[in-house]
Amino acid sequence: MTAALISPEALSMRLADDDAPPPLLLDVRWVLAGSDRAGYEAGHLPGAVFLDLDRELASPPGEGGRHPLPSPEDLEATFRRLGVGPDRDVVVYDGGVGAAAARAWWVLRWGGHERVHVLDGGLPAWVAACGAVESGDVVPVPAPDAVVRPGGLPVLTADDVLAGGRVLLDARAAERFRGEVEPIDPVAGHVPGAVNVPTSALLAGDGRYLPPARLRAVLTAGVWAEGEVGAYCGSGVTAAQLVLALHEVGVVAALYAGSWSEWVRDPSRPVAVGD
């Protein structure tokens, strides 16, 4: 399984290689309040194109949760607008937290584009290692031959989660998992039987992901060693970080894209609180 993460140092070398076409850089900075175009325009990797998570990596909020998957037709239009052609290498990055970049990596992979990497540590790691940024906007070169083939990565539905048969990891902070607080969704708690692995535990102090051996220790934590694994969070964004981290240790995990924001829309679905 090819590593998805690329270091700033390796990306810098790749961009300086005149013998190979440069990868398409996608800036997907995002916070819970929404996509951060202003941050992008203030400073981004040279040549990077802005990718709006809320509008282009998700459908409008509704019965499927706060960030349902985009339709294949809409995603194909996004691929073509951005220039994500069949043979184009892509590197996605965000402001350093990692969730938005992981969501972008996941959606591109789900849409059938395998040649995509995540800049480890995001923009802060790039600035610390390489320094070069530019301001303003970059107009992408379209790829009219881009094609979306959904199903490149596995997805869970609410019915799949209800059926069980796999370890389900919850990416949210521990207090949200336990149901002590719920700042966004109308019901607090977690899916019964889920195991809490907050995404903050995946990162080192410099914002980069832990080495694979330490990632595996955090992700398994003595709870599972093999078998099917799924991940969810509040709306299917931060859970993509768990899927990415699991990929880095050789485990293919399924994403419950609707996540908690879809789960609690049906009051018949069970809810647990506490540890």
Q: Kindly give, in sequence order, each residue whose CB lies less than 8 Å from that of residue 89, ignoring residues fewer than 6 positions away.
A: 21, 23, 24, 115, 116, 117
Number of structural domains (the chain) is 2
Pick 21 or 149 by higher pLDDT: 149
Residue 33 has pLDDT above 90, yes or no: no
Shared domain for 116 and 28, answered yes or no, is yes
Pick 275 or 199 by higher pLDDT: 199
- Which residues are designated catalytic? 233
Domain-embedded: residue 46: yes
For position 224, what pLDDT does the model report? 58
pLDDT by residue (tens digit) across 51-102?
999 999 999 999 999 999 999 999 999 999 999 999 999 999 999 989 999 9
Per DSSP, the residues of 66-117 read SSPPPPHHHHHHHHHHHT--TT--EEEE-SSSSHHHHHHHHHHHHTT---EE
pTM over the 0.85 mark: yes
pLDDT by residue (tens digit) across 216-233?
999 987 465 567 899 999
- Which of these, 167, 161, 194, lies nearest to 179 by C-alpha position? 194
Domain that holds residue 86: 5-129
For position 220, what pLDDT does the model report? 84
Domain-embedded: residue 268: no
**Domain of 79: which CATH number?**
3.40.250.10
Q: 244 near 105, Cβ under 8 Å?
A: yes
For position 223, what pLDDT does the model report? 60
In the three-class reduction of DSSP (H, G, I as helix; E, B as strand; rest coil), residue 164 is classed as coil
Domain-embedded: residue 243: yes
Domain-embedded: residue 150: no
For position 18, what pLDDT does the model report? 85
Name 231's bridge partners. 169, 255
Give the helix/strand (H/E) hosting 259: helix 259-263
What is the C-alpha to C-alpha distance for residues 3 and 122, in angstroms, rounded to an integer?
16
For position 120, what pLDDT does the model report? 98
Tokens read off for 127: 């600035």
pLDDT by residue (tens digit) across 228-268?
899 999 999 999 999 999 999 999 999 999 999 999 999 99
What is the C-alpha to C-alpha distance for residues 185 and 62, in angstroms, rounded to an integer?
13
Domain-embedded: residue 100: yes
Give the helix/strand (H/E) hosting 242: helix 239-248
Shared domain for 98 and 200, answered yes or no, is no
For position 39, what pLDDT does the model report? 95
The residue behind tokens 């048969």 is: 165
Domain-embedded: residue 139: no
Domain-embedded: residue 147: no
Shared domain for 90 and 14, answered yes or no, is yes
pLDDT by residue (tens digit) across 189-225?
999 999 999 999 999 989 999 999 999 999 987 465 5
